[in-house]
Amino acid sequence: MKKIPVFALLLFSCLSCSLFGQNSLPDRWEPGMTIQLTYGGGMRYYSYELFVSDTGSYYMENNEGRIIKSKINFYKDQLDNLLAFLKEQQFDQIQSELTAPMHDKGSELITIQWGQKKIAIGTGHAKEIIDAHKSRYLKVRNYLQQMRSSKNN
């Protein structure tokens, strides 16, 4: 009887999670689900965070120590539309890759959590979205930023 190396079992379990949709997005916005868009400016003293939830959302910006925080309320249909857009863009399939380090580079992260599941995709010091997925990632980021902007008008 042949023994299967532990590495092969781990590789299979990781592949099966990604191939069989263990973290695929739900069809509707679930209670307690959150989406967070964060950006840190590297050497520049600037950051922002957009936090989206069915129980209350907010936007916070730190521009060289001047902090602005505003509460935002989204309706259930807006949250369902956001989730539908994420599914349309196949957000759960977007991948990043390690790159040569770029010191003092800003970082950005979009994190979605529901139940015990979490998807976090972003860029940073030595990480970039792969070229084939960049346009979809940017569409999602822009959609989130437009949602926030539409609430400030």
Which domains are seen in the chain, by residue range? 25-152 (3.30.1560.10)
- The C-alpha atoms of residue 23 and residue 13 are separated, in whole angstroms, by 13
Sequential pLDDT tens for the chain (153 residues) = 445 444 333 334 343 344 444 569 998 999 999 999 999 988 889 999 999 999 999 999 999 999 999 999 999 999 999 999 999 999 999 999 988 888 878 899 999 999 999 999 999 988 999 999 999 999 999 999 999 988 765
DSSP, res 22: T
Q: Is 152 helix (H, G, I), strand (E, B) or coil?
A: helix
Residues pairing with 133 in the sheet: none
Enter the pTM of the model.
0.81
Cβ–Cβ < 8 Å for 115, 28: no
DSSP, res 45: S
